[in-house]
Homo-oligomer: A and B are copies of this chain.
Amino acid sequence: MTWVATSALAGLQAADCARLDRLAPLALPADTVIFRPGDAAQGYAVVLSGGVDVWLTGASGRELLLYSVVPGQSCVQNTMGLMAEAVYTAEARTTTETRLVVIPRALFLGLLDGSAPFRTLVFGAFADRMSTMLRLVESVAFTRAECRLAARVLALSAAGPVIATQVELAAQVGTAREVVSRRLDAWARKGWVRTQRGQIDVIDRAALDDLARADGGNLAGSGVA
Chain A residues in contact with chain B, CB under 8 A? Answer: 56, 58-62, 64, 66, 76, 79-80, 83-84, 86, 89-90, 112-113, 116, 119, 123-124, 126-131, 133-138, 140-143, 174, 215-218
Contacts and interface: CB of A to CB of B under 8 A. Distances in A.
Contact of A126 (B83, B89, B112): B83
A85 to B, nearest CB: 9
Counting chain B CB atoms within 10 Å of each CB, the highest count among A64, A138, A174 belongs to A138
15 contacts: A56-B137, A56-B141, A58-B215, A60-B217, A62-B142, A66-B134, A80-B130, A83-B124, A83-B127, A84-B124, A89-B131, A89-B135, A89-B138, A112-B119, A140-B140
Given A80-B127, A130-B76, A116 B119 contact: no
A135 B80 CA distance: 14
A86 B140 contact: no
Nearest to A138: B56
Given A134-B89, A136-B137, A127 B84 contact: yes
Given A56-B134, A86-B127, 13 more contacts: A56-B137, A56-B138, A58-B217, A59-B217, A62-B141, A62-B142, A64-B142, A80-B130, A83-B126, A112-B123, A126-B126, A129-B130, A137-B137
Q: How many copies does the complex hold?
A: 2
Contacts of A116: 113
Contacts of A112: 119, 123
Given A119-B112, A217-B62, A137 B133 contact: yes
Given A130-B130, A137-B136, A142 B58 contact: yes
